[in-house]
Amino acid sequence: MDLKTRIGRSVKSTIVGGESYNAYIPQPLPPEPPIDIGNLYPLLDQANTALGRLDGMSMVLPNPSLFLYMYIRKEAVLSSQIEGTQSSLSDLLLFENEEAPGAPLDDVREVSCYVSAMSYGLERLKNFPLSLRLIREIHAKLMDNARGGNKQPGEFRTSQNWIGGSRPGTASFVPPPPEYLMECLDNFEKFLHDENTKLPVLIKAALIHAQFETIHPFLGGNGRLGRLLITFILCTHGILKEPLLYLSLYLKTNRRDYYNHLQSVRETGDWEAWIGFFLRGLIDTANQATQTAQAIVQLFNTDRQDIEQSGKATAALLTIHNYLQNNPITTTAKIKAACDISLPTVLRNLSTLEELGVVKEITGKERHKVFVYSQYLALLNKGTEPIG
């Protein structure tokens, strides 16, 4: 199969000072010649099975919204780490509890904005199609922080950007110049709504993500928004009932292969190799998410049994344990207010939970103590160690 017709064209542009550089204009989707799905069917079957198993977990979780709440935050941390932030999941949860995180505040705010953007997009998609307009709205939420303020939040770029290097002339990749941007985005939106091209949704998601990253339509936040699009597409097309699948851990672990595959699509037209990599990521990520969900359910059940068999189980103690499932990092004041329990009762029951190994106090202070549901947080924290 001759893949040359899939390769975009190069255009020569100049920057201030007269230095010239080559920018890349991708071919519109779908690729021509069409994707050769034959060799991809085994991976497609595995991916659909893994996603089906994960989707089924949302039916058996005692509180799917709880798992989703925490899982979205884990994804926000991972996706932002790929872009260079040093925030951990614990930092984000401390920030949301109005406690001082261990990472730079701007890093944590950036992750918090990712959570807002994701939640906003998922809510809007219930009655609004995935479109350029919605993508711009989500971008505005994503960049609503100190670092994003000068990067035209919610607006497509009007100047050249690039990836790698100090300027376009030394960059590893230069996306379309601003005068070609709307042409590329118009074609992109047409493919978003294209019902005539009969492709499996998972392959369509792979194509859309790679094309978005190649167009790079914003001055900042393209990587994070491109990763969000994957989940939005899976939910919009009914592949997942709940947004339980996020690829950032797989892409963080395999960053070099990820960037190499994207560049290979641009240079060789080999979409099939990229799609294979993408499907393996879906399989790996869906299986990990299912295992994490099962482990969390098991932990909650085991801890509840330990509480009930301790001889100290009271309504207040069980209420606090339930609250910790939604808030694995919290304070005595927060528990007192949320559970409507007196402070002495809160402290007595937290002491019991410490004895049972369910929680740990992490400040060592006499007042304004912060408690962590440590084993729960450890399960969620897998893979979120900052990139060295």
- Kindly name the residue from 139, 209, 216, 261 that is annotated as catalytic: 216
259 is in an annotated binding site: yes
120 is in an annotated binding site: no
Three-class SS state of 274: helix
224 is in an annotated binding site: yes
Q: What is the DSSP letter of 165?
A: S
Indicate the pairing of strand 370-372 with strand 329-331: antiparallel
281 is in an annotated binding site: no
258 is in an annotated binding site: yes
Residues with Cβ within 8 Å of 94's Cβ and at least 6 positions away in sequence, in order, are 100, 101, 102, 329, 370
Three-class SS state of 31: coil
216 among known catalytic residues = yes
Q: Sheet with 360-361: list strands edge to edge.
A: 329-331, 370-372, 360-361
287 is in an annotated binding site: no
Query: 151 φ, ψ to 5°?
Result: -115, 35
Report which of 320, 292, 319, 321 is spatially closest to residue 304, judged by C-alpha positions.
321
321 is in an annotated binding site: no
385 is in an annotated binding site: no
227 is in an annotated binding site: yes
Residues in a beta bridge with 331: 370
221 is in an annotated binding site: yes
83 is in an annotated binding site: yes
Do residues 317 and 307 make contact, with C-beta atoms less than 8 angstroms apart?
A: yes
Report which of 286, 294, 194, 207 is spatially closest to residue 249, judged by C-alpha positions.
286
Q: Can you tell me the distance from the alpha carbon of 126 to that of 319, in angstroms, rounded to the nearest whole number? A: 33
Strands (E) located in 251-388: 329-331, 360-361, 370-372
CA atoms within 13 A on the CB side of 110: 25
Measured from the Cβ of residue 324, the count of other Cβ atoms closer than 10 Å reads: 22
Q: How far is CA 308 from the centre of its chain?
A: 37
Q: Can you tell me the distance from the alpha carbon of 251 to that of 375, in angstroms, rounded to the nearest whole number? A: 25
> Annotated binding site for ATP: which residue ranges?
83, 216, 221-227, 258-259
Please list the active-site residues: 216
> Annotated binding site: which residue ranges?
83, 216, 221-227, 258-259
